[in-house]
Chain A
Amino acid sequence: MRLTVNGTEHEVDVEEDMPLLWVLRDELGITGPKYGCGIAQCGACTVHIDGIAARSCQTFAGDVAGAEITTIEGLGTPDALHAVQAAWIEHQVAQCGYCQAGQIMQAADLLSVTPEPSDDDIDQAMGGNLCRCGTYTRIRAAIHTAAANLRGA
């Protein structure tokens, strides 16, 4: 099947029911999306499918052939940061960093829908993303900063 990831088309020969997460990680070597729980409890595997945040561990490869898939690597790079990534760095959010790709993808999705989120909006949108290090205080602050910067841009 053909998958479009970060603007590049890939031909992959995998089972229809292989989770997108494992196609990305093991077949395509795109390792920004992380395996944390495998049952949509942690959000570390979050990617965008046609611009909307989704858990790639619960998304069958066969269901996203032809869709536009974006991973953290496609959101921004160290040399060309997305506003959410820049805010994450400004607020020094990450500790171990393992959940942060998922957190950032979820936050970018929130801001694309809700440019000026309240704390309640943030809590609702980010509630499915687990951070074992407990960086939530800084995640909240970084989302507000990213929102302000995106609105000002």
Chain B
Amino acid sequence: MSRAGKIARRTFLIGSAAIAGGVAFGIYAVRRPHDNPLADGLAEGEATFNPWVKISSDGITLITPHVDVGQGVASAQALLIAEEMDLDMDQFQISFGRPAAAYYNTALAAEAVPFMATDEGRAAETMRSVMNAAMKVMGMQTTGGSTTIPDSFDKLRQAGAVARETLKLAAAQQEGVDVAALRTEGGAVILPDGRALPYTDLAEVAATIEPVAEVALRDPSDWRLIGQPIPRLDMVAKSTGTQDFGIDLRVDGMVHAAVRINPRQGGEMLGFEASAAREMRGVVDVLEIPGGIAVIADNTWRAMRAADAVEIEWGPAPYPAEQDAHWDALSNSFTDDKLDQTWRDDGDVESALDGAETIEAEYRSPYVAHAPLEPLNALIRVDPEGVEVWTGHQMPRLVQTIVGRITGHDADQVTLHNQFTGGSFGHRLELEYLKHAAHIARQLPGTPVKLTYSREEDFAHDFPRHIAMGRGRGSVANGQVQAMDLAIAAPSVMASQLSRADLPVVGPDLQIAAGAWNNPYALPHYRMRAYRAAELAPVSSWRAVGSPGAGFVFDSFLDELIHAAGADPLEERIRLMDHQVSRQVLERVGEIANWTGPRGDGQGRGVAFVESFGVPFAQIIDVTATDRGIRIDHVFASCDAGTIVDPVNFESQVQGGIVWALGHAMNCEITYSDGMAEQSNYHAHEGMRIWQVPQITLQALQNNSQIRGLGEPMVPPAAPALANAIFAATGQRIREMPFNRHIDFI
């Protein structure tokens, strides 16, 4: 690793202002472009113009380095390149490519700095620029934080434009015509006489010339693909059973592995007895790995069955064994020594609440599992000269580092073949399953091993969303909200997650407060304090990370204050909103829902607004209280993520994300007993079934000056909107997820 890279690794902080970009790394390291990974191993006559485009006489390959975990980014990335290259969507192949620093995420920095997304001031912009320098020097290739579109939007159009202009230059040279007389269409350069030269026929000439440096991007009025309903590239394969996921891969000589790792996560294995398992049909071996055992067999089912037959003595959990103790830890964390950061201190909350009649409430957000439907799996082969890994992962370069450390290889000796995954929701940021796979494969050099988690193992080691507790105190006067004093206590998800990647975290954890501090309201008096509890069960980024919990606390309590003030829930939110784009989102959702108030007598309407990942998002939910429980009738949604690249996938993400958020708010939690998660499969952590799915109406605005991603922002407002609707319908205020602890659903 370069010296600058080492400095970056040591000083990399998420949520801290202590980093000094150009100063720490040297301006040279920051400005120097990364090498083009496609330039290695280029065949004769193959051309590459940048890390995203490769052309040979056989065809065109577009690299889409953000991994597709179901959110449709393989198509979206390719579409952005194709737009500027004048390619039709059936004229190229796509590949996730090899991990490379050149694919560092240019949008992640904006998510990692402690400034509101609406803050475009000098300090905020400087910090974003400094953090971006760190991301670049480190080569942080990451899919996550709803950043694929903001990272890609300019960069990939630029890549396509460079390819287009370079191919035109190649055609001009080859044909002896003026480049200004050329245009492109349908994957070909069109000559003045109307002849079409396919790009593939120009590869050989293009390979000999320097890529054009200065290019102009198309005017939006000329877009053919962006903003149009373009079918996703993976749709036919995913509708015909022909899409290979990591779990489907087979290579010659492959053996199957199943693991059992201490379900008291991080605890030791004290001993095991495997003689019965060794005698079972198809079993090749039983191996010890850190924290547990692995069975090697000739078939996945035989491996899993034999793993179950191993008798194992587990050590205790390195965290409180019982769930109540986890809540107690949070309850005891609202103390000065645990104050992580005061994120907002507008007006004078203390004076405003002094002597006033206050409204007080406490909220809880539970541990929740990611549980994507494809269980974690990895195919891996370790040889003396290198390692090959096939798995779907959101941080490809970290996979190389972590695997190589276990197998005794340098990161660049580890080849990752990134895969489409059957969901993630943050689960494919985890590294433990890869560590297990590496520990197994290093004991079987030369043999490809496919490790497949059983669903039960996956639940036991989900690394769920962190728990959070919120306490609010507030006051109202003259029919308006006056003061809100909000405190949220949670363990640090970033510290837990990055500790498993051996990355340090310094400074406050933005995710304790995300969803609560950053909503652009102008309350007369607003204080938001985050308290950092000690680490409890290991936790991880779950779709929208901190915002589903803290956003539930914030918006629920705001709703309580508005109710106490006797104001209209939507009108008061609009009145308090101090950000034009966000206000328009609230107004629009009211229009599409034909808002006339919260109703009552068994019919309830709730509204909620939470900004996350730079996207203001409002939802209105209609419910009916029936004698069989609450029925969710209709969800109205509006948001503003700026330019919409793919309107159909945009709508799909919003529909699916709302179903995700409501389903988990209704009935999902992970609880610990005897140090183990009590939920082992979907019967105990179900989410929403088709019969519970409401009608969903979406109208998105495009006034946001920044383009944003839509993987997550629909999640945080859904739970509070539902709770607020249930309150309107029944008078029952639910302050704890999952809601089925307090009320039945149909």
| Interface residues of A, Cβ cutoff 8 Å to B | 15, 18-19, 21-22, 25-27, 29, 31-39, 41-42, 44, 71-73, 76-78, 81, 85, 88-89, 92-101, 104, 122-124, 126-127, 129-140
A92 CA / B695 CA spacing, docked (Å): 18
Q: Enumerate 15 A-B pairs (CB-CB under 8 Å) in ascending A order.
A: A15-B281, A18-B299, A18-B302, A25-B300, A34-B247, A34-B373, A34-B422, A36-B374, A37-B455, A37-B681, A72-B240, A96-B422, A96-B424, A127-B690, A134-B693
Closest beta carbon of chain A to B583's beta carbon, Å: 28
A93 CA / B586 CA spacing, docked (Å): 29
A92 contacts which chain B residues (CB < 8 A)?
231-232, 235, 648-649, 652
> A101 — nearest CB in chain B belongs to which residue?
B241
Structural contact, B690 and A97, CB atoms closer than 8 A: no
Structural contact, B301 and A18, CB atoms closer than 8 A: yes
Check B589 for interface membership: any CB of A closer than 8 A: no
Structural contact, A95 and B691, CB atoms closer than 8 A: no
Structural contact, A135 and B422, CB atoms closer than 8 A: no
| Interface residues of B, Cβ cutoff 8 Å to A | 69-72, 231-232, 234-245, 247-248, 250, 256, 281, 299-302, 371-375, 420-425, 452, 454-455, 648-649, 652-653, 655-660, 663, 681-683, 686-691, 693, 696
Known A34-B422, A37-B455, A132-B373: A139·B281 in contact at CB below 8 Å: no
> A57 — nearest CB in chain B belongs to which residue?
B301
> B659 — nearest CB in chain A belongs to which residue?
A134
A17 CA / B62 CA spacing, docked (Å): 46
Structural contact, A42 and B682, CB atoms closer than 8 A: yes
By CB atoms of chain B within 10 A, which of A29, A88, A94 has the most? A94
B71 contacts which chain A residues (CB < 8 A)?
95
Count how many pairs of residues, one from A and one from B, have CB atoms less than 8 Å apart in the complex.
180
A33 CA / B590 CA spacing, docked (Å): 43
Structural contact, B299 and A97, CB atoms closer than 8 A: no
> B658 — nearest CB in chain A belongs to which residue?
A134
Structural contact, A136 and B659, CB atoms closer than 8 A: yes
B425 contacts which chain A residues (CB < 8 A)?
132
Structural contact, A35 and B452, CB atoms closer than 8 A: yes
Closest beta carbon of chain B to A125's beta carbon, Å: 9
Known A130-B373, A132-B371, A133-B656: A97·B681 in contact at CB below 8 Å: no
B302 contacts which chain A residues (CB < 8 A)?
18
Known A35-B247, A73-B241, A127-B690: A134·B683 in contact at CB below 8 Å: no
Closest beta carbon of chain A to B648's beta carbon, Å: 5
Closest beta carbon of chain B to A14's beta carbon, Å: 8
Q: A31-B244, A44-B373, A92-B652 are in contact. List 14 more A-B contacts (CB 8 A).
A: A18-B301, A31-B241, A73-B242, A77-B240, A78-B236, A89-B236, A94-B239, A97-B420, A98-B374, A99-B422, A132-B423, A134-B663, A136-B690, A140-B693
From B69, B373, B663, B683, A39 is in contact (CB under 8 Å) with B683
Known A41-B681, A78-B240, A89-B231: A36·B300 in contact at CB below 8 Å: no
A90 CA / B232 CA spacing, docked (Å): 11
From B70, B237, B371, B454, A96 is in contact (CB under 8 Å) with B70
From B234, B239, B653, A88 is in contact (CB under 8 Å) with B239
By CB atoms of chain A within 10 A, which of B245, B421, B690 has the most? B690
> B682 — nearest CB in chain A belongs to which residue?
A41
Known A37-B682, A92-B648: A133·B660 in contact at CB below 8 Å: yes
> B685 — nearest CB in chain A belongs to which residue?
A41
Closest beta carbon of chain B to A42's beta carbon, Å: 6
> A105 — nearest CB in chain B belongs to which residue?
B241
> A36 — nearest CB in chain B belongs to which residue?
B373
